[in-house]
Structure 1
Amino acid sequence: MYLFIFCYYILVSLAHFCALPILFLLSFKPKYKHSLKRRFFIPEFLKETADIYWIHACSFGEIKALQPLVESLEKTLKDNEKILLTTTTQTGFALAKESYSKCIVHYLPFESFIPFWMWNLSLKMLVLFEAEFWFMPVFCAKKKGAKTFLINARISSFKKYQKGIFFYKRFFYYIDKVFCQKKEDKRNFEALGAKDVEVYGNLKLYIKPQVTQQYSAPNQKIWVIASTHQKDSVLEEVLILEALLKVLPKNLKSCPRILFVPRHLERIKGIQQALDAILKSHNLPNLVLASEVGIEKSLHSPFVLIDKMGVLNNLYALAELVILGGSFLKGIGGHNPVEPAFFKIKLISGPYIFHQRALFNCIQNYVLCDISQLGDVLLQVDCLYPSCIVKKIKIAKIIQALRGVNENS
């Protein structure tokens, strides 16, 4: 095992060194401006003498889903104990800073930095969220005598992971317990070498969506085009708008207000240009950018581009229909359908939802369709039933496991 660890560390260090020129160029993009610097160039080293309970999650949605765990664990902490929360994306980091004021929040350094970054930590527990299979943090945590957990765990494509079974068997050797989302995940994790696996469900079902600001609704219905992505040069926003224009009434007064709420706000200018070109070709008014007139005022415009994070729930509270993106292009995997289902909105998603199947299994009255079928589905929108949540989970088991680590340490 130690030969593998030595070779693994040398390989990731070489990969890190060779990738530095590319990482340097990427660091000028707004999306990576802060995260790459702290992950690959100048990590922030912790100067903490307290006992650390470390939780790592990738990005915005995962950080948001951690709320019940963090709040419950905070209640059990002693004076000399703190929670360290790490993430890899700038949106996740910003949300963690805003939402968890009592936690220490850092970007996760790349694995070549980890042994030095963790050198002086008094670590009691490490929790990895969903598919964050980072070997060096797990190995170093076990060397420090900490308990290690993988929670909300999922495997989207077992064939892909099976190709790396040599690595995963060594990774799971250092994981004490896995809480996975469904029975299929349990079988897959055990096949990859996980020792103690329990089916738990998806933690995101436990989160009650919050409306942070109430807007005055226009007289027209509101359709939200949520969490859309770009794959290579193809924009989901373009595909969906083209489908919409085939079915929307020509009279704009009776037309639903169409709100585009894309992922990755650094794409806003490109999205605006592409959609405005399509609207112009149909002699329709340009998009209204929400940041220029305010979200509430923008709701009265036919076509709106929302260029602000964290407002989806506020819009869901007003909407009749949501078209959930990240699902009409292969390779993205879909987005969380629980939030629109909580507000009992009519829900349409694309067919590529492999990351979210466990959550879709917990709701009913949704439609999955290919982009070529979207127009036909929209023609029948009045016949659709509102989506709703039909399964919920109990968080007690996972809280008990984490509290047990704290109380017994």
Structure 2
Amino acid sequence: MYLFVFCYYILVSLVHFCALPILFLLSFKSKYEESLKRRFFIPEFLEEGADIYWIHACSFGEIKALGPVLEALEKALKDNEKILLTTITQTGFTLAQENYPKCIVCYLPFESFIPFWIQNLSLKAFVLFEAELWLMPVFYAKKKGAKTFLINARISSFEKYQKGKFFYKRFFCYIDKIFCQKRGDKRNFEALGAKDVEVYGNLKLCVNPQVTQEYPIPNQKIWVIASTHQKDSTLEEVLILKSLLKVLPKDLENCPRILFVPRHLERIGGIQQALDALLKSHNLPNLVVSSKVGIEKSLHFPFVLIDKMGVLNNLYALAELVILGGSFLKGIGGHNPIEPAFFGVKLISGPYIFHQRALFDGIQNYVLCDISQLENVLLYVDCLYPSCIIKKIKISRIIQALRGVSEKA
């Protein structure tokens, strides 16, 4: 087993070295300028004397979902214990700093740095979230005597994982306990060599979305086109707007306000250009970009592009209808439906939701449709029922496991 880990470390170190020129160029993009430097070039080496509970989650959505776990764990900490929270993306890092001020927050260094980065830490437990299967952190956490957990675990494509069974069989030897989302995930993890797997549900069902700013309710209805993506040269925003333009009334005064809230704000320029061209071809006014007039004023224009992070819940609270993106193009996997369902909106999603099936199982009154069917669904939008959450899970089982580490120490 040590030979396998040694060979793996040599391989990732070579990959790291060969990729440095590409990483250097990418680091000048606003999306990566901070995260790549802190992960691949100048990691933040920690000198921490406290006993550490280390929790790692990938990005914004996963960091948000950790809230109940972190809150409960903080209450159980002893005087000389702290929580280390690591992430990969800049949006995840910013959210972690804002929401969890009692945690030590930093970027997860690339695996070739891990043996040096972790050497001065006294670890009590190491927790990975969802599909963050990093061998070097798990191996060195176990080497330091820490208990290792994989929580909210899921396998979206078993066929892809099965191709790497040689790796995963060895990886799961270092995981003490897995809390997975569904029975199918349990079967898949066990087929890959995992031993102690418990079906638990999706932690995102525990998170109650918060409204951070209330806006006056406009006279017109609000339709939110949320978390849209781009695949190659295809923009979900364009596909959805084409369907909308076929059903919206010609009288803009009686038209719902259409708010596009895309993922990956670096795409804003391209989205604006593509949507404006489509609107112009229908003799309709251009998009209003929210940063130019403010979100509150933008709600009074027919077509709006929201270029700000962290405002979706504020808009869901006003919306009649939400069309949830990341689901009309193959390979993205959908987005969290719990947040819009919490506000009782009418909810439409595309069919490609393989990352979010456990969450959709926890709500009712939603519509899944292909982009070719979206026009027909929108024609009968008045007949749709408001979505709602029907299943909650208790977080106590995971908290008991994490506290058990503390109590035995």
- TM-score norm. by structure 1 comes to 0.99
1:319 aligns with 2:319: yes
1:119 — aligned with what? Answer: 119
Amino acid at match of 1:304: V
Matches within 5 A, 1:261-340: 261-340=261-340
Amino acid at match of 2:319: A
Name the CA distance, whole Å, in 1 between partners of 2:404 and 2:215: 43
> How far 1:90 moved relative to its partner?
0.5
> How far 1:270 moved relative to its partner?
1.1
Name the CA distance, whole Å, in 2 between partners of 1:143 and 1:224: 48
1:53 — aligned with what? Answer: 53
SS in structure 2 opposite 1:79? coil
1:206 — aligned with what? Answer: 206
1:38 aligns with 2:47: no
Aligned length: 409
Amino acid at match of 1:358: A
> How far 1:282 moved relative to its partner?
1.0
2:235 — aligned with what? Answer: 235
Amino acid at match of 1:332: I
Q: Structure 1: which 4+ aligned runs deviate by more than 6 Å?
A: none
SS in structure 1 opposite 2:72? helix
1:15 — aligned with what? Answer: 15
1:149 aligns with 2:159: no
Name the CA distance, whole Å, in 2 between partners of 1:77 and 1:382: 50
1:191 — aligned with what? Answer: 191
Amino acid at match of 1:333: G
> How far 1:217 moved relative to its partner?
1.3
SS in structure 2 opposite 1:149? strand
2:98 — aligned with what? Answer: 98
Higher mean C-alpha deviation, range 270-279 or range 83-92: 270-279
Name the CA distance, whole Å, in 1 between partners of 2:76 and 2:395: 16
CA contact 1:52–1:122 (8 Å) conserved in 2: yes
C-alpha offsets along residues 44-78 of structure 1, whole Å, 9 cap, x if unaligned?
A: 10121111110000000000000111111111112
2:244 — aligned with what? Answer: 244
SS in structure 1 opposite 2:386? coil
SS in structure 2 opposite 1:224? strand
> How far 1:281 moved relative to its partner?
1.2
> How far 1:407 moved relative to its partner?
2.0
2:342 — aligned with what? Answer: 342
> How far 1:184 moved relative to its partner?
0.4
Name the CA distance, whole Å, in 2 between partners of 1:22 and 1:318: 43
Name the CA distance, whole Å, in 2 between partners of 1:370 and 1:29: 33
Name the CA distance, whole Å, in 1 between partners of 2:403 and 2:267: 41
Name the CA distance, whole Å, in 1 between partners of 2:36 and 2:239: 31
Name the CA distance, whole Å, in 1 between partners of 2:106 and 2:151: 20
CA contact 1:76–1:407 (8 Å) conserved in 2: no
RMSD over aligned Cα, in angstroms? 0.6
> How far 1:280 moved relative to its partner?
1.1
SS in structure 1 opposite 2:330? coil
Name the CA distance, whole Å, in 2 between partners of 1:105 and 1:313: 24
Q: What percent identity do the matched residue pairs reach?
A: 85
SS in structure 1 opposite 2:28? coil
